[in-house]
Structure 1
Amino acid sequence: MATLAPEDFPQMWQRPSYEELFAILQSLELSPPVWNHRQKQSDILAHQESLATQRKAEVTRYISSVISSPLAWIDDYDKQEALWELASKRMSERCGRTAMGEVTRRWPFDGDGVACEPFELIIKEPALTGDSLGFKTWGSSYVLSQHLPRLAATSLFKLFDETLGQPPPTVLELGSGTGLLGVAAAALWQTHVILSDLPNIVPNLKDNTEKNKSLVESRGGSMSVGPLTWGGEEDEIDQELFGEPFQFKLVLAADPLYDDDHPALLSSAICQNLALGSESRAVVMVPMRDNITRTLLEAFKQAMLDLETPLFCEEESELAGEDDWGDDEEEGQVKCWLGIFSRGGSPLAT
């Protein structure tokens, strides 16, 4: 069925059966793309489409014919409703991410640099309505996730040095969103990661940790989730998880800057939660999409220095990645700034 050309689809005037129409509509599903920083951009943006869906105009017209048809020959209103609903979903998939509604994507990890088999993480993104920043898996989170094993072996070596006989540190992720980075950290670093975000983002975040719990635990990691609003009131912060300051030797944040308040709020949140002592580290990644993003990044770096107890950028580098796919499908390569901060201000090299 999936290999049929659009002109071979059963037409409404042919009065196809419910089963025929349902199978065709199922075959036309468009799955969202998955980034892979090793692929060419043309491959990254390619939808996982069947041969039938590559001729988009014809397919769109066909789906529209199902939606507009009364389907009077199907003598079951529930079946008619099911076909209209499925056809509407197929149409929305062709109208950009915002119209697509809820999606679930699999994110592959090949295990390079660590002694592990390849694995996939399953991440659900709710429909992007209203304030949706935390419901979208942003490109830099996958870039940083892929980079975690190398960080543990280099810049963060002191925190993961098995010869010292210490367990790996408990990690806090600020602004976890859909949870890709935090879940990957728990799996790749084989440690406990606490994921956090605004209260309205937390339910989906918990769902995603549950979806990946078995895999993470099989690799020696574990996860907790709780609300942590930067600069928020007590009822916006999980006091059991975050009520005590300076708990975490390692703090992560990816793509956290979107308005003028964020640099100061993020720097304060890092300062309040990062453990005291020169060995603690905060790892922050910011995609440099445009002048606004670059300005926010510079404001954040200055805000870290302006803290009562400054946080110094020990290392900074750039990683190439793919930006997030959107309604206009004009995504492309983006440079992601990576900074590693500490309270000490002294070089990490030993």
Structure 2
Amino acid sequence: MFDNAVKYTIRPISSYFRPSSSSHPSSFVSRLVLASLSTSSSPYSRVAPPTCQAAYRPTSLHRADHTNNLNMTVSAIPSPEELPHLWQRPAYTTLLDVLQRLRQEPRIWGLKESREEILKAQAASMAEAAFNRQEIISFLSSIIKSGLPWLDNDEQREDIWEEASRRLAERCGRTAMGEIIRRWPFRDENIGDFDLAIREPPLTGDSLGLKTWGSSYVLAQLLPQFSAGPLAHLFVGDEPLDVLELGSGTGLLGIAAACLWVANVALTDLPNIVPNLSHNAELNRETVAAHGGKVEAAALTWGSDDYEDDSHPRFGEGNRYKLIIVADPLYDDNHPDLLSSAIDAQLSLESDARLLVMVPQRDETTKGLTNSLRSKLEQASSPLTLVEDAMAAGEDDWGEGETDEADRVGFWWGIYRRERPSW
């Protein structure tokens, strides 16, 4: 979420697998990757599975392929017997159909379907399909290695290589995948069921704001309870409430708030995060409008007084919002101070103004950062007082562990108000 949050660079594995028509199959990267996978056990090619774990369970859904703009229906994963042999020179449409059917989608978990249940289902599926997986990876690798000379043109070859690269990367975990779009379901007895589509670009560099973290979904599902309980005084009258979300990331929490609270929500994050944030706001604009809400995305850099480049000019006025929401905002030692200063600058000075914050308690570091934030809020120029707090159970994929115990965490949430009016 911040430029100094992570000091290392992660490059999606799919970027190493993607050949170009001008150099394939003799490019150095392609030969290097495939040489490391070579074996003689496959009927498709001399390629064996890379040493990575299948991190996601396949799902069947209708969606648009945003890479090639192809409408498709993803059906059941084909068995090894259904995979075409390249010596048979399968047609472009045949290869594309098989590759699309091999798509693996990252699963979504929440309060009603835990990651433990998903992982158990995955384990059963993977145990049954262990041999199939090896054959599938060999098949994908053989496509990447092949020059596909029988296809009509370079565009078709690029399509097939791209799809095969993505399918192989999907079997190496989330950080190896390229861009994905996840659909997050919400069930509410008052406004009905709806889904939000959230795009996550490839996880590269230190862009933590390009991933949807578990706390956003946990807090989003609790929003109706807060609006009917400790925040109910803010949701009276006919006028929609103006809500500010700090550190929005991919925007799931704020967009859900616009729907569930019928609110006008300002989604904010660093300038380099805002383009994807704006994309997700637009992607869900019809759903938000159907529920009576509005969303806008704008840059807001904590601790900066530059309201031209680092932050949108609208935030220069200050103390405009009666409700601020924020989830999973702390990754570095300076974040509690930066966040508390942003809250102090933007939260209304009126006594009925509230802050709703959630922080996952992953380890001693995050617990320490939480305590630091609480201390900073109490020491603000117009101090904030904790009104109510508790722990929510949930799942988190911070470490993408292979066991549920590694990802089951408690999510601390707190509601704050101004200690007293400033006048």
Structure-1-length-normalised TM-score: 0.91
Shift of 1:157: 1.2
Residue 38 of structure 2 is aligned to residue 38 of structure 1? no
| 2:325 pairs with one of 252, 255, 278 | 252
Contact 1:36 1:44 in 2 (8 A): no
SS of 2:381's partner is coil
Other-structure match for 1:201: 273
Supply the distance in 2 between the matched residues of 1:158 and 1:96 (Cα, whole angstroms): 44
Q: Contact 2:78–2:98 at 8 Å: present in 1 too?
A: no
The amino acid of 1:146's aligned partner reads Q
Which residue in the other structure is 1:10 paired with? Answer: 84
Query: What is the CA-CA distance between 1:6 and the residue it aligns to?
Result: 1.5
The residue type equivalent to 1:140 in the other structure is S
SS at match of 1:20: helix
Contact in 1 for aligned 2:401/2:407 (Cα 8 Å)? no
* 1:57-87 deviations in Å (ceiling 9; x for gaps): 2211111111112223334333222211211
Segment drifting more, 65-74 vs 280-289:
65-74
Show structure 2 runs of 5+ residues with no match: 1-74
The Cα of 1:169 is off from its aligned counterpart by 2.4
Match of 1:220 in 2: 292
Query: In the alignment, is the contact (CA less than 8 A) between 2:382 and 2:419 conserved in 1?
Result: no
Paired residue secondary structure (1:55): helix
1:272-300 per-position Cα deviation (integer Å, ceiling 9, x unaligned): 11101221100000000111100100111
**Which residue of the partner structure matches residue 107 of structure 1?**
184
State how 1:310-349 maps to structure 2 within 5 Å.
Answer: 310-324=383-397, 328-330=401-403, 332-344=407-419
Is structure 2 residue 172 aligned with structure 1 residue 78? no
* C-alpha spacing 1:3/1:257, structure 2 compared with 1 (3 Å): closer
1:16-69 CA-to-partner distances (Å, cap 9, x unmatched) read: 22222111111001111112221142334467x999899322211111111112
Q: Could you tell me whether the CA contact under 8 Å between 1:3 and 1:52 is conserved in 2?
A: no
Contact 1:98 1:327 in 2 (8 A): no
Aligned partner of 1:152 in structure 2 is: 227
Greater shift after overlay, 88-97 or 198-207?
Answer: 88-97
Contact 1:313/1:339, CA 8 A, preserved across alignment: yes
Q: In the alignment, which residue of structure 1 is the partner of 2:34?
A: none
Counterparts of 2:384 and 2:260, CA distance in 1: 26
Contact 1:174–1:196 (8 Å) recurs in 2: yes
Counterpart in the other structure of 2:251: 179
Output the CA distance in 2 between the equivalents of 1:195 and 1:53: 43
Identify which of 59, 65, 73 aligns with 2:142.
65
Give the equivalent residue in structure 2 for 1:21: 95
**Counterpart-to-counterpart distance in 1, 2:390 and 2:411:** 8
Match of 1:266 in 2: 339
CA contact (8 A) 1:313 1:345 kept: no
Partner of 2:351: 278
Work out whether 1:87 is the aligned partner of 2:137. no
Correspondent of 2:209 among 134, 158, 180: 134
Structure 1 CA distance for aligned equivalents of residues 106 and 334 of structure 2: 32
Look up the equivalent residue of 2:116 and give its one-letter code. S
- The structure-2 alpha-carbon separation of the partners of 1:298 and 1:254, relative to structure 1 and needing over 3 Å to count, comes to same
**Mean Cα deviation higher: 89-98 or 189-198:** 89-98
Say what the alpha-carbon RMSD is for the aligned residues: 2.2
Q: Percent identity?
A: 49
Aligned amino acid, residue 194 of structure 2: F
After TM superposition, list the pairs within 5 Å mapping 1:287-326 onto structure 2.
Answer: 287-324=360-397
Q: Please list the CA deviations of residues 136-195 of structure 1 after superposition, one character each: whole Å capped at 9, or x if unmatched.
A: 0010000000000000000101111x3xx3634210000000000000001110011111
TM-superposed deviation, 1:116: 1.1
Deviates more, 1:248-257 or 1:81-90: 81-90
Distance 1:54 1:300, change over 3 A: farther
Q: How many residues align?
A: 339
Could you tell me which runs of 5 or more consecutive residues in structure 1 were left unpaired when the two chains were aligned: none
Matching residue's letter, 2:278: K
- The structure 1 segments of at least 4 consecutive aligned residues displaced by more than 4 Å after TM superposition are 49-54, 325-331
Instruction: Measure the CA separation in 2 of the matches of 1:279 and 1:203.
Output: 33
3-state SS, counterpart of residue 215 of structure 1:
helix
Structure 2 residue matching 1:23: 3-state secondary structure: helix
DSSP 3-state at the match of 1:65: helix
1:188 equivalent to 2:260? Answer yes
- Matched residues in 1 for 2:352 and 2:158: separation? 60
Aligned partner of 1:167 in structure 2 is 239
Letter of the structure 1 residue corresponding to residue 407 of structure 2: G
The answer to whether the Cα contact below 8 Å between 2:114 and 2:395 also exists between their aligned partners in 1 is: no
Q: 1:103 is aligned with what amino acid?
A: I
AA in 1 matched with 2:366: T
Alpha-carbon distance, 1:3 to partner = 5.0
Structure 1 equivalent of residue 282 of structure 2: 210
Any conservation in 1 of the 2:259–2:288 contact (CA below 8 Å)? yes
Q: Secondary structure at the match of 1:272?
A: helix
